[in-house]
Amino acid sequence: MTRDSAGLSDPKAMRALAHPARLSILNRLGVEGSATATEVAESAGITPSAASYHLRMLAKYGFVEDAPPRGDGRERLWKAVDRPLSVGVRSDDSPDVRDAKVLVMSAFRREANAAADRALANFREPEEWRDATRFNRTRIRVDAQEMAQLNEAIEKIIEPYVALRRGEQDAPSGARIAEVQVNLFPVEKRAAPGLPTEDHDAS
């Protein structure tokens, strides 16, 4: 999340997005394609009426839109808008824009952490998937320009595999949904906790 994309510089749009049910709905549409309010409600753990409300709010700010009908066309289908969801704080952001960006970035991180925790809690994958899975954390030494270039290079590597644009028919047999989590940020020095006291067992 290092560059602005359309819609994610608007504080109202970002606050509308920073809701766990809406992020879950958006992820469902981005991975599995178009769906009804009832279908996304099940994946988000909410009622169909609540899902309809959240879908309308997402549509209001340009994150989802109507999808082509299926069957008899009586059900309303929604799909995710094909654009990157990324946001970064800029030096010229007004306070309300900066606050909204921090809010939505925090929501993205909570959603990402929850996905990683679910993967670890249910890590009974076949050997080939276990061998391919990585949870890496690496400290690097870069200037701001190098970090921006690194992010662009990573995005170019990932782009051909994005699920929203790579359908099952375009992927190899046995392909499944996986998640890439990339965080690039300058490290803030951790405050030293200090030495423990000797009377920690005292009542």
Cβ of 7: how many Cβ atoms within 10 Å? 18
What one-character DSSP code corresponds to residue 166?
Answer: S
Mean local confidence (pLDDT), 160-185: 91
Q: Structural domain boundaries of the chain?
A: 11-168
- pLDDT tens figures, 9-52: 789 989 999 999 999 999 899 888 899 999 999 989 999 999 99
- pLDDT tens figures, 55-111: 999 999 999 999 998 877 788 999 999 776 777 777 888 899 999 999 998 998 998
Whole-angstrom distance, CA of residue 169 vs CA of residue 134: 26
Whole-angstrom distance, CA of residue 62 vs CA of residue 82: 10
Structure tokens at 161: 């595999």
- pLDDT tens figures, 122-147: 778 888 998 899 888 899 999 999 99
Kindly tell me if the per-residue pLDDT of 5 is higher than 60.
Answer: no
Q: Could you tell me which CATH number the domain at 11-168 has?
A: 1.10.10.10
In order of 124, 143, 154, the CA distances from 134 in angstroms are 14, 26, 16
Would you call 79 helix, strand, or coil by DSSP? Answer: strand
Mean local confidence (pLDDT), 170-183: 92
Whole-angstrom distance, CA of residue 20 vs CA of residue 124: 27
pTM score of the predicted model:
0.70
